[in-house]
Amino acid sequence: MAGYSRSAILLFCFSLLFQTVSLESCDADTCNQGSESDSDKSCGCSISRQQTDTQNADTETESSSLSHEKSKYTDKEFNGDFQRTNEMVQIPAGSYIMGTNEPVFIADGEGPERKVTLDKFYLDKYEVSNAEFSLFVKETGYKTEVAAAPWWVPVIGADWKHPEGPPSNIQDRMNHPVLHTSWNDAVKYCAWAGKRLPTEAEWEYACRGGRDGKLYAWGNNENPKGAHWMNIWHGEFPKENSADDGYVGTAPVTEFPEQNKYGVKNMVGNVWEWTQDWWVTDHDTQHKTNPNGPDSGIDKVKKGGSFMCHKSYCYRYRCAARSQNTPDSSSHNLGFRCASNTLPEYLKKS
């Protein structure tokens, strides 16, 4: 983003920590604003590391007989009945053009365009919700990683149950996307669900919905028919979030229209989504089939942008846009959805 120095952005992030309960996290959205010309100007997103503060780990140890088959379940901890949002949509086999020859952020490796062919697969219709993640934790006793980036003041006690740290909670946000889950957490969740993380190529293919060369999952018009199809930052950053789309923070995973013919929701916007791939920014133009990225790396690729993205500084709510985090880091605007080669048996019954 032109007009904001790195120090100003950090100051902004620090000020938000103390002024609001919803925007304490500083991530690539707000901190990579200069990266279109120089990736070294990012505010440390590429070197974020896990914080070894086990006190913040989820202490849930309850086991239960809850099952994938149930269409809804009662969560005693959060005092409510919650509808399952674990359904998947079929993404047909085919070829498409991945990336763009008109990158907004060159340093992000948005280009060049290259042909990719994929087998049929399935993808979660929705981002993984707090309710779904709560069910996973209750069945497995899983303890999430607690991560923080060294370039940012960690919010003591922040985890998926307390996204803004104590005393915040997710009681009224059970149908919102789960936050503060690392890539490793996401892998564990998807395995529990009989799924896996999508590759970056799969994620972008599903985002494009059969329409090569478009900016968004539905086309090039940010607000089709004057309506909002995604949750991003509206207003004058960083002074005002006008919430024109109805949300200052996250929105329910079921909110907004299906973004393309595949029926997926909130691919772009709401929260960033982890993918399976390691992060690189140099891509060749060779036609690839079912690519899954490099064999190793430091960061994992995330896609889709988030509610903290504004066109003036983080125009990354586009299918070709991408960013990265280390697999042990988590943040306030980063979630995930799962993929699968075949539809899990339990979903065939529903």
Give the binding range for Ca ion (CB under 5 A) out of 19-27, 98-106, 252-260, 264-272. 264-272
Assess 304 for contact with Ca ion (CB under 5 A). Answer: yes
Give the binding range for Ca ion (CB under 5 A) out of 113-121, 137-145, 221-229, 261-269. 261-269
Q: Is 275 helix (H, G, I), strand (E, B) or coil?
A: strand
State the minimum distance, in angstroms, from the CB of residue 282 to Ca ion. Answer: 26
Nearer to Ca ion, 247 or 278 (CB): 247
Nearer to Ca ion, 185 or 245 (CB): 245
| Phi, psi angle pair for 97, to nearest 5° | -100, 110
Identify whether the C-beta of residue 302 lies closer than 8 Å to the C-beta of residue 325: yes
State the minimum distance, in angstroms, from the CB of residue 127 to Ca ion. Answer: 5
Q: How many CB atoms lie within 10 A of CB 211?
A: 16
CA distance 275 to 293: 10
Q: Is 47 helix (H, G, I), strand (E, B) or coil?
A: helix
Nearer to Ca ion, 25 or 56 (CB): 25
Position among 266, 325, 330, 331 found at the interface with Ca ion (CB under 5 A): 266
Nearer to Ca ion, 34 or 314 (CB): 314
State the minimum distance, in angstroms, from the CB of residue 164 to Ca ion. Answer: 17
CA distance 42 to 32: 4
Give the binding range for Ca ion (CB under 5 A) out of 38-46, 132-140, 192-200, 242-250. 242-250
Assess 249 for contact with Ca ion (CB under 5 A). Answer: no
| Phi, psi angle pair for 327, to nearest 5° | -65, -15
State the minimum distance, in angstroms, from the CB of residue 326 to Ca ion. Answer: 20
Classify residue 302 by its DSSP letter: E
Assess 245 for contact with Ca ion (CB under 5 A). Answer: yes
Assess 231 for contact with Ca ion (CB under 5 A). Answer: yes
Nearer to Ca ion, 23 or 158 (CB): 23
Give the binding range for Ca ion (CB under 5 A) out of 193-201, 215-223, 229-237, 253-261. 229-237
Identify whether the C-beta of residue 268 lies closer than 8 Å to the C-beta of residue 323: no
Assess 270 for contact with Ca ion (CB under 5 A). Answer: yes
Let me know how long the chain is: 350
Residue keyed to tokens 């070294």 = 40
Residue with nearest beta carbon to Ca ion: 304
State the minimum distance, in angstroms, from the CB of residue 231 to Ca ion. Answer: 5
CA distance 265 to 253: 7
Assess 247 for contact with Ca ion (CB under 5 A). Answer: yes
Nearer to Ca ion, 38 or 244 (CB): 244
Count of chain residues binding Ca ion (CB under 5 A): 7
Identify whether the C-beta of residue 31 lies closer than 8 Å to the C-beta of residue 311: no
Give the binding range for Ca ion (CB under 5 A) out of 8-16, 25-33, 88-96, 267-275. 267-275
State which H helix or E strand residue 202 sits in. Answer: helix 200-208
CA distance 268 to 253: 12
Nearer to Ca ion, 24 or 75 (CB): 24
State the minimum distance, in angstroms, from the CB of residue 334 to Ca ion. Answer: 9
Give the binding range for Ca ion (CB under 5 A) out of 19-27, 48-56, 93-101, 259-267. 259-267
Nearer to Ca ion, 121 or 229 (CB): 229
Q: How many CB atoms lie within 10 A of CB 104?
A: 16
Give the residues across from 324 on adjacent strands.
301
Identify whether the C-beta of residue 64 lies closer than 8 Å to the C-beta of residue 137: no
Q: How many CB atoms lie within 10 A of CB 278?
A: 18
CA distance 287 to 345: 33
Footprint on this chain of Ca ion (rule: CB under 5 A): 231, 245, 247, 266, 270, 304, 307
